[in-house]
Structure 1
Amino acid sequence: MSDPLSLFQNAFYIGNNFNAILYGVELVLYFMTIRIMLSRKRKHVPTDKYFLLFSTVLLLLNTVFVATEAVFGQEMWIVNANYPGGMDAYLGDFASVWYQTFGTAASIVLNLCSDGLLIYRCYVVWNDLRIIAGPVIIYLASFSLGIAQLYESGRPHANYFAGLAQKLGIGYTSCIISLEIILTALICSRIYFVGRRYGHAMGEEVGRAYTSAAAIIVESMLLSTLTGIAYLISFARNSDIDIFFLSIYVMMTCIAPQLVVLRVVAGRAWTREKSTMIQSKLEFTDASRTQFGGSSAANEKSDGLTASGSVSSSEHIPIGDV
C-alpha cells in the first residue's frame, strides 16, 4: 500500500468492519421492534404502521450504505489489487462510481429521515410548534446542501473527500450537525427539568423514569449527535481518518432513531398525551400548592388575630371583677 493514503485506506477498512458489527446491532433492534408490534398482549395503535414503515426504510437505506461500502472495498483491495498505480489510483479513478453515489444518496436520505424524526420528537416533548420553527428552517437548508453535495460528488472523477464536493460536504455536515445539537439540547433540557419537577410533585421513583440517563440519551438521539460532531471535526480538518467517523456516524443515524422507535412501541417513550398529562399534573400541583399555601397563611393570620384579640380582651377586664 502506498504511503500518501495508507491511513485513509486503513480507516476505510476498519470502518467497514465496524459497519458489519453495527449492522448486526441494527438488525437485532429492528426485529425486537417488530416482535413487540406483533405481540398479541400489546394494544395496537394507529402509529404502529408508520413506525413499521419508518423502521423498514431505515434498515433498507442502511443496508444500501453498508453493501456499497463493502463492495467498493472488495473491488479496490481484492478484485483490482493489481490496478495500475495501486489502490490509491483506483480510489481516485472510481470514487464516484455509480454504486458509491447510490450509497452516498442512501446515507443522505437516512440522515434526513433520522433528523426528521428528531424534529418530531422535539415537538412531542415540548408540545409546542413554535419550538421547532427554527430547526425546520435549518432542516430545509441542509436538505438543499445535501442534494448539491450528492450531485457534485457523483460527477465523473469527483471525490466525496476532495474539491468542491468536500466544501459542500462541510457545509451540509455543519448544517445537519448544528440542527442535531440544537434539537438534542432542547430535548435533553426539557426532559431533565420537567422530569425533575414531575419527580418532586409525584415522587422520585416516577420522575426517574423520565430523567434517567438512558431516557435522555435515547430520546435525544445523543449517540448520533456525538458521532456526528467527531465526523465533522475530522472532515473539516481533511483528516485521513474521516472515512472511519463517517461510517460510524451513518450507522448511528440508523441505530439512534431505531432505539427511539423501540422505546415508543414499548410504551416507555414520551408521547403528546404524556406531555399534556404531565403538564396538566404540574399545573394542578402548582395551583394546589399555591392554594394550600394561601390557606395556611390565612389560617396563620386568623390565628394571630384571635390570639391578639384574646390578649386585648384580657387586658380590658376590670380588676374588680377578678
Structure 2
Amino acid sequence: MVQYLPLDKAGIISTVLEGALYGFSVLMFLATLWTLTSGRKYAQINIAMVVVACLLFILSTIHIISDIKRIYSGLVLFRDTYPGGPPAWFANVSDPSFVFKNAIYAVQTALGDGVVIYRCYVVWSSIWVIVFPVILWLSVVATGIGGVYILSQPTADSGDIFFQRSGQWITAFYATTLTCNLCATALLAYRLWMIERSVHRSRVGRGLTKPVLMVIIDAGALYSVTLFTALVCFVSKSNGQYVVLDMVTPIISIAFYMVILRIGIAQNSRSREGASTIQRTPLPRSETSNSDRFQPMHVHIERLTEVEIELEGKADEASSHQMSRI
C-alpha cells in the first residue's frame, strides 16, 4: 500500500520518475527555443516566453540535482551514521536540502501559474478579468513562503510533514495553486472557445484558435490532475505525496512547453495553406482553334487567407501575432 511506502523507497521511486519526465522536458525545452527563435528577427522574438522557458528549465534542473544529491546523502553518505537510518533521514523535513527543493518547487509553481494568468490577460485584453486569479496567485505565493519558512524551523515534529504546524500550510498551498490554475485555465479556454465559435463559419482554411484551445485544455488537465493527486495524498497522509510532488516540477515545464510547441505547429500549418495553388482554366472557344480548345492554361492563384472575427458587435482580428504571445 502507498500509505506504508518507506520514505527511502519513495525517494528512489520519485527521483526515477522525475528523471524520466525531466529528460522529456529537456527535449521539449530545446524544441520550444527553436520554435520561439527560428527564422525570426530579434524584434519578432517573444523575449518574455524565452525567459520563462529558460527559467523553468533552470528550476527543473536545480530540483532534480537536489533530489539526486538527497538520494546520495540518505542512502550512502548518512546511511550508517544518521539515527534511524535512511527512512529517518528522509523524514527530516527541516533538513536544508529538503527545504531548498521545496523552495524551488514553490518558485516554479508561482512562475507556472503566473504564465497561465498572463495568457489569460493576453486573450481577454482586460485587467479586470484576471483580478480574481491574481488574488489566488498572491495566495499561492504567501502560502508557499509560509510553508517553506515553517519547514525550515527545526522542531520536535520535524520528522512528520503531516503535523498540523506544517500540514496546514502545505494543504493551503496545494489548494490555492490548484484553484488558481483551474480558474485561469477555465477563463483562458472559455475566451478561446468564444473566438473559435465566432470565426468557425467565416474561416478560410485552418485557424490557430482551435489547436491552441485543445492544447491549453490538455496542459491544464495534466497539471491539475497531478496537483489534485498530490493534495489527496497529502490530506490522506500518504507518503505517495513525495512521489507525486517530485513529478510536478517537470510537469509544470512540460505543460508550458506544450502550448508553445502547438502554437508553432499550427502557425507552420497555416503558412503552408497560404501557399500558391495551380488551377487549370480552358480558354474560351471563340478565341481558340479546335486543336487548342482543350489545351489548358496554367494560372497561378495566390490564396491570401485573412480571418476576421466579430465579438460583441466589434471587429477583432485573431492574428497569429497575438497567439504567439501566449
Interval containing the TM-score (normalised by the shorter chain): 0.7 to 0.9
CA-CA distance at 1:87 after TM superposition:
2.0
| Contact persistence 2:161–2:167 (CA under 8 A) | yes
Aligned to 2:144: 146
| Contact persistence 2:233–2:240 (CA under 8 A) | yes
In structure 2, the residue corresponding to 1:42 is in which secondary structure?
coil
Matched AA of 1:237: S
Residue 267 to residue 71, structure 1, CA distance change in 2 (3 Å): same
Match of 1:155 among 153, 156, 177: 153
Residue 13 to residue 278, structure 1, CA distance change in 2 (3 Å): farther
Matched AA of 2:162: A
| Contact persistence 1:7–1:241 (CA under 8 A) | no
Deviations 1:149-193 (A, max 9, x none): 010011225358322112100011101111111112222222234
- Distance in 2 (CA, whole Å) between partners of 1:282 and 1:23 is 44
Where does 1:9-20 land on structure 2 (aligned, <5 Å)?
A: 9-20=8-19
Residue 159 to residue 201, structure 1, CA distance change in 2 (3 Å): farther
| Contact persistence 2:117–2:134 (CA under 8 A) | yes
- Distance in 2 (CA, whole Å) between partners of 1:34 and 1:183 is 25
- Distance in 1 (CA, whole Å) between partners of 2:209 and 2:69 is 43
> Larger Rg: 1 or 2?
1
Deviations 1:221-253 (A, max 9, x none): 312122111111111221121111112222211
1:72 aligns with 2:73: no
Residue 88 to residue 33, structure 1, CA distance change in 2 (3 Å): same
CA-CA distance at 1:282 after TM superposition:
8.1
Where does 1:161-310 land on structure 2 (aligned, <5 Å)?
A: 161-163=161-163, 164-202=165-203, 206=206, 209-212=208-211, 215-218=213-216, 221-222=219-220, 223-263=222-262, 268=267, 279-280=309-310, 283=313
- Distance in 2 (CA, whole Å) between partners of 1:84 and 1:90 is 8
Residue 66 to residue 200, structure 1, CA distance change in 2 (3 Å): same
Matched AA of 1:107: Y
CA-CA distance at 1:215 after TM superposition:
4.1
Aligned to 1:59: 57
More strand by share: 2
Residue 34 to residue 206, structure 1, CA distance change in 2 (3 Å): closer
In structure 2, the residue corresponding to 1:201 is in which secondary structure?
coil
Matched AA of 1:189: Y
Aligned to 2:135: 137
Over the matched positions of the two proteins, sequence identity in percent amounts to 21
Match of 2:79 among 65, 81, 89: 81
In structure 2, the residue corresponding to 1:10 is in which secondary structure?
helix
| Structure 1 stretches lacking a partner, 5+ long | 270-276, 287-322
**Segments of 4+ moved more than 6 angstroms:** none
Matched AA of 1:108: A
- Distance in 1 (CA, whole Å) between partners of 2:263 and 2:197 is 21
Aligned to 1:124: 122
Q: Give me the TM-score of the superposition, normalised by structure 1.
A: 0.74
Q: Give me the TM-score of the superposition, normalised by structure 2.
A: 0.74
Matched AA of 1:115: D
- Distance in 2 (CA, whole Å) between partners of 1:162 and 1:45 is 50
CA-CA distance at 1:104 after TM superposition:
1.0
- Distance in 2 (CA, whole Å) between partners of 1:145 and 1:198 is 41
